[in-house]
């Protein structure tokens, strides 16, 4: 009986590790696709997001949303080249503007 229980537990562990490996491969594949798209846009001279437009938010509390769906909230401190400097409560974050999908702020 204990062999059957161990076999079932081992099968569950193997299934979980296979699922995790598949998820990791899927995330890596999506990241590679995004890098290719960004590189192609740069080659074609397309602007992903204008630094001048982003600069209008300097000093304001903003929410930055990336192409991957990540959200970051903080004070927009600087925009240089293709990078945004965002001060959060306890950290400072540098974000590449090529992956920024949107920037949201409240109108005062």
Domain ranges of the chain: 1-46, 51-105
Q: What is the pLDDT of residue 4?
A: 52
SS3 content of the chain, % helix, strand, coil (to 5): 45, 30, 25
* Residue-averaged pLDDT of the chain: 83
21-53 as b/e: b if 16+ CB within 10 A: eeeeeeeeeeeeeeeeebeeeeeeeeebbeeee
DSSP 73-85: EEEEEEEETTEEE
1-15, 24-38, 49-63, 84-98 — most confident range: 84-98
**pLDDT digit string (tens) for 18-74?**
888 998 898 888 878 877 877 777 777 765 667 888 888 999 999 998 877 889 999
Phi, psi dihedral angles at 10 (to 5 degrees): -65, -40
pLDDT-based confidence at residue 78 (cuts at 50, 70, 90):
very high
The fold of the 51-105 domain, in CATH, is SH3 type barrels. (2.30.30)
């Amino acid at each position: 009986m204990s062999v059957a229980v161990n076999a079932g537990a081992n099968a569950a562990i193997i299934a979980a590790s296979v699922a995790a490996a598949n998820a990791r491969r899927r995330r890596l594949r999506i990241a590679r696709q995004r890098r290719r798209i960004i590189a192609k846009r740069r080659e074609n001279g397309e602007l992903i997001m204008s630094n001048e437009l982003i600069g209008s938010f300097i000093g304001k509390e903003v929410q930055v949303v990336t192409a991957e769906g990540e959200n970051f909230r903080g004070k927009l401190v600087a925009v240089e080249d293709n990078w945004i400097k965002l001060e959060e409560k306890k950290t400072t974050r540098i974000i590449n503007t090529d992956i920024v999908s949107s920037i949201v702020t409240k109108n005062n």
